[in-house]
Amino acid sequence: MRYAIANWKMNVPPEGIDKYVEACAAAEPAAAELIIAPPFPFIAELRSFAGDRRIGVSAQNCSDQISGAFTGEVAAAMIRRAGAESVIIGHSERRKIYGESNKTIGAKLVRATEVGLLPVFCIGEELEIRESGGTDQLLERQIGEALEIASGAGEMVVAYEPVWAIGTGRVASTEIVAETHARIREILRRSGQPEAPIVYGGSVTPENARELARQPEVAGFLVGGASLSSAKMLQIRDALAV
């Protein structure tokens, strides 16, 4: 299975949610599954707009707790009940701005899978780490520490998102993507997730998607900026048909 995941972040597409979903629903079915990750309040609305059309709905985060006195948090079970089938976990903005650790991310992976949400588990290095040759070690830690906690977790998607490529317009080269995805596959084999599809994220656009989609071990894309346009998102999804 290949995935085209639209991360709207804390935005609504300028064309409006209903027009966006209509455009996606009207498009020809494709080889890759389209999943839209809106802000929490739009999950139920999106699910009902999408109906039984082949559009997945995802949250962008979930709590590491089941329930209780955690003001402002949203539990995985609540997200499931609102109609989402998946949840993005450990996005670099969550790690950097909200201080999420690998251990917290591991707990969130457990919370998601125990209620039947497919986690999209994000990993990736900062520019200084890549430039100092520390990428492999960092990825090893991000995956190892989280999956040690989520050792019994079921199926998941892994998203390789180099932080220096997110929202910067600086897409990773096809060589870096191919080499890093191969390395991640090795780590996942040793970490109890040998089959997890690996998607790439970081300044993916309709212009660069086709070339990236041809790289081995690229099972799809996690898209931020370009996902705010249904036309661009559909072109990116269709690039995965190669």
- Contacting positions for ligand PEP (CB under 6 A): 7, 161, 166-167, 201-204, 222-226
| Comparison of 77 and 171: residue with beta carbon closer to ligand PEP | 171
Is 217 an annotated catalytic residue? no
In the bound state, the residue with its beta carbon closest to ligand PEP is 224
Amino acid identity for residue 68 in this structure: G
Shortest CB 37 distance to ligand PEP, Å = 9
In the chain, what is the straight-line distance between the N-terminal and C-terminal CA atoms, in Å?
13
User: Between 46 and 163, whose beta carbon lies closer to ligand PEP?
Assistant: 163
Nearest CB to ligand PEP, comparing residues 68 and 99: 99
**Active-site residue (options: 91, 93, 100, 217):** 91
Closest distance between ligand PEP and the C-beta of residue 172, in Å?
10
Q: Determine which one of 33, 161, 181, 217 is catalytic.
A: 161
| H/E segment holding residue 213 | helix 206-213
CB of 92 to ligand PEP, least distance (A): 8
CA atoms of 59 and 227, how far apart (whole Å): 15
Q: Does the active-site annotation cover 91? A: yes
E strand or H helix at 85: none
Helix (H) or strand (E) holding 148: helix 135-149
How many angstroms separate the CA atoms of 150 and 105, rounded?
A: 9
Rounded to whole angstroms, how far apart are CA atoms 198 and 3? 9
Which residues participate in catalysis according to the annotation? 91, 161
